[in-house]
Amino acid sequence: MARTPGPSRSLATCRHRCGLACARTAPNRSGNTPFGDLVRAEVSRRGLLGGALGALVIGAGAACTAVPSAPRDSAPATPTAASPGPSLAPLAFEPVPPNRDDAVRVPDGYRQRVLIRWGDPVLPGAPEFDHERQTAAAQRQQFGYNNDYLTVVPLPDPERADDHGRRGLLVVNHEYTNEELIFRRYDDKAPTAAQIGVAMAAHGMSVVELERVGDTGEWRLVRSGALPYNRRITVETPLEFTGPAAGSALLRTAADPDGRRVLGTLSNCSGGVTPWGTVLSGEENFDHYFVGGDEAPAAAKPALDRYGFHTKRRHPPGSRHWDTADERFDLAQHPNEANRFGWIVELDPYDSESVPRKRTALGRFKHEGATIVVAGDGRVVAYLGDDERFEYLYKFVSEERLQTGDSADDRRHNRGLLDRGTLYAAEFGFTSAGEIDGAGALPDDGAFNGSGRWLPLAQGELSMIDGMALDEVLVHTRLAADRAGATPLDRPEDVAIHPRDHRVYVSLSNNDYRGAVGRPAADEANPRHDNKHGHVLELIETGGDPAADTFAWSLPIVCGDPDDPATYFAGFDKTSVSPISCPDNLTFDADGNLWISTDGNAVTGPGGDPYNDGLFAVPVDGPERGRVRQFLSVPIGAEQASAYLTPDQRTALVSVQHPGEVGGATADRPASTWPDGDLARPAVVVVWRAGDGLLGR
Ligand code: FEO
Ligand code: CA
Ligand code: CA
């Protein structure tokens, strides 16, 4: 039924993370509807999984993967095929009940400690955090705000060079800032230059050296020594463009007439790791940092509009006024600066002097993250979500193959793999199209499912879209995917790859505009109108080949309160399932259990207030497939932004983003005082079992 939409997520989140995008019309007006005439036959999962499955999984935190070690001045270790991992018992823990506690809650028998929080020193000699006298100069040396994606890459133990299980580098995205929670008496109509400077320096990424505490599952920061790897990336750090669109006229500005060099990375949301030891980071909601769109040249406006840039008021609600500190954020003066964000960034955490790269072959959109898997023939595949309502799922397949040697030539070769290949967008077909009415009832064939195909947008040096040049396809990828006929999805966020058989899991977070007046109705891949709780997509590439151009798909989990009939947990008994809402980041443990972080829990408690977000674990195989259990909850107003599970399965590092982000809360009147009892501070928390216990068992 058509209805008038409205934002379901906290308005405070909308204002700061996406510039109130949720209160505006979603920018996809392509009218794309999925083709129902794709292969309609039920696809045999067994048949699809029967192919060669020799791929290497290096997913966003794919826990069983031996992440290669590549310390400075030495070659990365040879990537190894996904190991079967330790033989683990089934998940067995007492779920954390839904709650609204201003605390991180873990099951009985687990321990937790804050590892690092906003403002803690990162660079050698960085000042201690001083909230009342924070400066941009201090913040550039300290842990940034709103940590999102995190991962750990290994370092050898200085005393046991072959032991990569005792030291590592934590790599973290800092997605955005909550100025009203950072600064006392913040006036969002007239922020000071000093406040803008602090906020700019609190964006970006951090690299921080870690070490294991004794032989326990606990990890801590390395505080002493030269800290040669520790690094902050901010909006002032030089990066370079690589790939087919580098140097394009669309990327040239007054400050960079060659279109090859850009200052900073913005809105870094999720990410991934590569087999060659680098970390990928997705630039997501970059649009709302810019003003002046209405005065931009007419030729630039269709693309600005398609990416959601404000084109009317100069400083709409939520504007950070960055144009007053740096004119490149004024599109009236520098319209192409908009095109220089929205990319996948590749960072070498082992070289603190390295220049991070924006990989243009992976397209430009509101990148959630990039999850890498290596196909059986050695080609590298990246799965990419565009996190906005009615946007698309993409993948990139490299032209060249991964070289598994350790020579300088091998390393140079591998570091170019993401610069040349084919970029696709996904189109979904259905088996039960006529039965989908938006209410969420399961079709007669027992599944939301179908098949699909990957639509090529760009291939090597060729545009695959009539009327668009190659650089236009890569810079204005949403417009290219519109023309190709990609299927609009309910906010495609993170992707995780099953460590054994390479099934692809995609979180579709929510979409309260689905079925609204003038907006696309429900379809089998997005089966609920006013989708407040989201769902999880399982995608099986034909032949189990990540480079395939067709796939089968189904929805194993349709989220929400299990008491709601419009939920589905792979057929598992709903009375023993935890409520789960708004799946966001995904990762697998070594045994193939999916761990889901949530952002924006819309399941409410007795008082009508939403429960806190959390981390959930669910088997995707066997008799417990679909049994979602809550492992952890985060404080009031926080998002459980991401989790990294260590390969030995003893430790989880979890990213607690924007605690206290509640409408009306300020630094002077906080809604959360986590973690220290005074100011709310985003932080990374380490969770481990006492003794030798394994997570979740
Ligand atoms: Fe930054 Fe899609 O979450
Ligand atoms: Ca069906
Ligand atoms: Ca996210």
Structural domains for the chain: 11-286+341-689 (2.120.10.30)
Q: What is the dihedral of CA 53, 56, 58, 62, to 10 degrees?
A: 50
Centre of ligand 1 to C-alpha 106, Å, is: 24
- Which atom belonging to ligand 1 lies closest to the Cα atom of 269? 1
Residue 606 gets which letter from DSSP?
Answer: T
Cis peptide before 675 (omega within 30 of 0): yes
pLDDT along the chain (697 residues), means of 10: 44 73 76 47 26 36 32 30 50 97 97 98 98 98 98 87 85 98 96 98 98 95 96 98 98 98 98 97 97 93 94 80 96 97 98 98 98 98 98 98 94 97 98 98 98 98 98 98 98 97 98 97 98 98 98 98 98 98 97 97 94 98 97 98 96 98 96 97 96 90
Q: Can you list the positions of beta strands (E) in 510-619?
A: 535-541, 550-558, 568-569, 583-588, 593-598, 614-619
Q: What is the dihedral of CA 634, 638, 642, 644, to 10 degrees?
A: -40
How many alpha carbons fall within 13 Å on the CB side of residue 616? Answer: 33
Centre of ligand 2 to C-alpha 449, Å, is: 5
How many alpha carbons fall within 13 Å on the CB side of residue 538? Answer: 24
The finding on whether 388 has its CB within 6 A of some atom of ligand 1 is: no
- Which atom belonging to ligand 1 lies closest to the Cα atom of 599? 3
Centre of ligand 2 to C-alpha 450, Å, is: 6
Residue with tokens 């990890």: 219
Q: What is the pLDDT of residue 380?
A: 98
Contact 686, 653 (CB under 8 A): yes
Which residue, among 580, 685, 681, 695, has the nearest Cα to 637 in the 3D structure?
Answer: 681
- Which atom belonging to ligand 1 lies closest to the Cα atom of 17? 1
Centre of ligand 2 to C-alpha 431, Å, is: 4
**Atom 1 in ligand 1: which residue has the minimum CA distance?**
269
- Which atom belonging to ligand 1 lies closest to the Cα atom of 284? 1
Centre of ligand 3 to C-alpha 154, Å, is: 24
The finding on whether 523 has its CB within 6 A of some atom of ligand 1 is: no
The finding on whether 283 has its CB within 6 A of some atom of ligand 1 is: no
Q: What is the pLDDT of residue 267?
A: 98
Centre of ligand 1 to C-alpha 349, Å, is: 22
The finding on whether 541 has its CB within 6 A of some atom of ligand 1 is: no
Contact 441, 465 (CB under 8 A): no
- Number of DSSP helices (H) and strands (E) in the chain, helices first: 9, 33
Q: What is the pLDDT of residue 33?
A: 65
Strands laid side by side in the 357-359 sheet = 261-263, 238-242, 357-359, 344-347, 279-283, 268-273
The finding on whether 284 has its CB within 6 A of some atom of ligand 1 is: yes
Q: C-alpha 417: how far from its chain's center?
A: 21
- Which atom belonging to ligand 1 lies closest to the Cα atom of 491? 2
- Give the DSSP per-residue string, 95-147: PPPP---SS-B--TTEEEEEEEETT-B-STTPPPP-GGG--HHHHTTB--SSE
SS3 578: coil
Exposure string over 484-502, b if 16+ CB within 10 A, otherwise e: bebbbbbbbbbbbbbbbbb
- Which atom belonging to ligand 1 lies closest to the Cα atom of 494? 2
Q: C-alpha 613: how far from its chain's center?
A: 16
The alpha helices in 599-670, defined as continuous H runs, are: none
- Give the DSSP per-residue string, 175-210: ----HHHHSTT--TTS--HHHHHHHHHHSEEEEEEE
Q: What is the pLDDT of residue 10?
A: 65
**Nearest listed ligand to the Cα of residue 586:** 3
120 token code pair:
């803690």
Centre of ligand 3 to C-alpha 494, Å, is: 7
**Nearest listed ligand to the Cα of residue 597:** 3
CA distances to 273, 430, 530, 614 from 445, rounded to whole Å, are 38, 11, 24, 32
Which residue, among 306, 469, 290, 265, has the nearest Cα to 391 in the 3D structure?
Answer: 306
Q: C-alpha 500: how far from its chain's center?
A: 22
Q: Amino acid identity of 254? A: A
The finding on whether 493 has its CB within 6 A of some atom of ligand 1 is: yes
The finding on whether 368 has its CB within 6 A of some atom of ligand 1 is: yes
Mode of pairing for the β-strands spanning 357-359 and 238-242: parallel
CA distances to 104, 141, 186, 320, 673 from 669, rounded to whole Å, are 21, 27, 12, 21, 10
Centre of ligand 3 to C-alpha 642, Å, is: 8
Q: What is the CA radius of gyration of the chain?
A: 23
Q: Amino acid identity of 47? A: G
- Residue 510, classified by CB atoms within 10 Å of its CB into exposed (0-12), middle (13-18) or buried (19+), is buried
- Which atom belonging to ligand 1 lies closest to the Cα atom of 267? 1
Centre of ligand 3 to C-alpha 644, Å, is: 14
